[in-house]
């Protein structure tokens, strides 16, 4: 991470698709959604979509809802991790 960079957290919802794969969307940023064949792919893709969306809002001087964490040491969260056994 570059010095002076910030981390913004955006909640996402990930759901399995009936036809296989996963669908993710960000309720905080309407229009931000992605699909992926795997859990990891959909997370990577929605992260790229959110980043592009935020950059576009910044370019147009629009309000960007976010939560910021200034120190990495304070970052602590839990997510379910699917493990196939």
| 3-class SS of residue 13 | strand
At 67 the pLDDT is 66
| 3-class SS of residue 8 | strand
Note down pLDDT in tens along the chain; length 85 residues: 455 567 788 888 999 999 999 999 998 899 999 999 998 999 999 999 999 999 999 999 999 886 666 666 656 666 666 677 7
At 36 the pLDDT is 96
At 41 the pLDDT is 95
Estimate to the nearest angstrom the gap between the alpha carbon of 74 and the chain centroid.
19
Answer whether 32's CB lies under 8 Å from 49's CB.
yes
| Domain ranges (residues) in the chain | 7-68
Tell me, yes or no, if the pTM score tops 0.85. no
- Of the candidate CATH numbers 3.30.43.10, 3.40.640.10, 3.30.70.260, 3.30.160.250, the domain formed by 7-68 belongs to 3.30.160.250
């Amino acid at each position: 991470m570059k010095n002076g960079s910030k981390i913004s957290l955006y909640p996402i919802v990930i759901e399995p698709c009936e036809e296989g794969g996963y669908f993710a969307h960000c309720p905080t940023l309407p229009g931000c959604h992605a699909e992926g064949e795997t859990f990891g792919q959909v997370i990577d893709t929605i992260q790229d979509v959110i980043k592009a969306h935020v950059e576009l809002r910044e370019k147009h001087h629009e309000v960007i809802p976010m939560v910021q964490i200034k120190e990495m040491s304070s970052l602590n969260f839990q997510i379910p991790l699917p493990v196939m056994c």
